[in-house]
Amino acid sequence: MQVFQYPDQTQWAALQQRAAAQEAQEIEQRVLGIFQDVRQRGDAALRDYAQQFDGVQLQDLRVTPEEITAAVAQVPAELQTAIRQAHANIWKFHASQRTEEKPVETMPGVTCWRRSVPVQRVGLYIPGGTAPLFSTLLMLGVPARLAGCPEVVLTTPPQKDGSVNSVILFTAQLLGISTIIKAGGAQAIAALTGGTDSVPAVDKIFGPGNRYVTAAKQLATRYGVAIDMPAGPSEVLVIADSSANPAFVAADLLSQAEHGPDSQVILVSDSMTVIEQTQAEIERQLATLPRAAVATQALTESRAILLRTPEDMLYFSNQYAPEHLILAVQHPEQLAEGVTSAGSVFLGHYTPEAAGDYASGTNHTLPTNGYARNYSGVSLDSFLKKITYQRITAEGLLNVGPVVETMAEAEGLSAHARAVTLRLEAVASQQQ
């Protein structure tokens, strides 16, 4: 990690920059070509991309019930138990997000209310590759089921033998998801956007991915399909004071660095001793990390920053707006009150970010790349639409009607006013 000691605030913006991405325009053009190809050739295009990118020839793009049954038998009992417990925790936390929506009488005879309606068709994209993220399937599938979404479509890249990762299939069965498509990358997003013979079109797409998947999701919005949020490479910022355990801090930084070579980890501390000891711990732990090469590459774009006060550290963090924020400090609750921009916050020395990634109950699908300034992570609400209703009685129209007439005439919208006036006249005639 690069170390910066007491940088002037004029330098902070540069220190908060994410890793340079491949030329965005080039990525968008390649993704646009994939979208056009999938829209024109459908399943045939998906099979060609599976051979090109995944190295596998597929006959059937859909996972069969027999494949699911066989996969479940391959998942060790201990892992099944762990996934079921994580499922229960995630379910409990997200179920608590249900809200009772009561009718409100804004004026006598004027009643307004709101109703939550599930998004009817959702697509869940689960990356495969070197780390099949079955945990992300839990994070997306649980709120989708709680929301009552009628149609849930899962897409995930096939393995070299044409199968789907067995743990992903076990998790899908646990969630009651049976429409599972062997497709990854931008082509999977394109298929979910426009539909093919094998892939149902959806109304909203969820899930993380590489820069091509991220670009594809943003392109999907041009075709009227919503997405969960803009998302890119994983990131964590750790605020550590002199009470922090350097071994814990190093492990937290590495747990994000091992996600991918473009992940970013930031350590902010008011103790040079903690920074130095954490650096040493990173080197020690890297030596035994299976994904050391990936983590090492990520660390080249990561930084350790020495600042003077807790207020400075918090201010830096809020400007950076991290996906994950760990408060490895003596009084985390006090510092947490000042957090304004973060995807998810982890308080204290015994709250590793990894717990939120898997099983504490909170959702790990979070905004990255500074989007935590204006986006929230996935929640039950992400799978719901809020529709407002209103009912006005004759008495209510007499109360609210003149207000509407006055405002509509002031805006020069006479037809709006007339829609009220005609009704008021009808009410008056009935009362005679």
The fraction of the chain above a pLDDT of 70, given in percent, is 98
- 19 pLDDT higher than 80: no
* Three-state DSSP state, 112: strand
312 contacts: CB under 8 Å, gap ≥ 6: 270
219 conformational bin, left if phi > 0, alpha if psi -120 to 50, beta if neither: alpha
What's the confidence (pLDDT) of residue 301? 86
Closest CA to 159 of 183, 187, 134, 124: 183
CA proximity to 140, closest of 384, 385, 382? 382
Task: For residue range 388-410, list pLDDT tens digits in order.
Answer: 999 999 999 999 999 999 999 99
What CATH number is given for 232-376 in this structure?
3.40.50.1980
Exposure string (b/e) for 268-296, b if CB count within 10 Å is 16 or more? Answer: bbbbeebbebbbebbeebbeebebeebbb
Binding residues for NAD(+), as ranges, are: 125, 187, 210
Q: Is residue 324 among the annotated active site residues? A: yes
Domain positions in the chain are 24-228, 232-376, 393-431
pLDDT of 20 higher than 70: no
On the question of a common fold for 24-228 and 232-376, the answer reads: yes
Between CA 70 and CA 78 the distance in angstroms is 17
CATH level 3 topology of 24-228: Rossmann fold (3.40.50)
Q: From the annotation, which residues make up the binding site? A: 125, 187, 210, 234, 256, 259, 324, 357, 411, 416
Round the average pLDDT of the chain to a whole number and report it: 95
Q: What radius of gyration do the chain's Cα atoms show?
A: 26
Would residue 100 show up in a list of annotated catalytic residues for this protein? no
Strand bridging mode 384-392 / 110-118: antiparallel
Given a contact cutoff of 8 angstroms between Cβ atoms, the answer to whether 367 and 377 are in contact is: yes
Q: Which of 235, 324, 353, 364 is catalytic?
A: 324
3-class DSSP state of 375: coil
pLDDT of the residue at 377: 96
Choice among 301, 323, 353, 405 that is catalytic: 323
Residues annotated in the binding site for Zn(2+), as ranges? Answer: 256, 259, 357, 416
pLDDT score of 264 more than 60:
yes
Q: What is the pLDDT of residues 64-76, one digit of tens each?
A: 999 999 999 999 9
| SS3 of 139-154 | HHHHHHHHHCCCEEEE
User: Mind listing the pLDDT tens digit for each residue in 141-181?
Assistant: 999 999 999 999 999 999 999 999 999 999 999 999 999 99
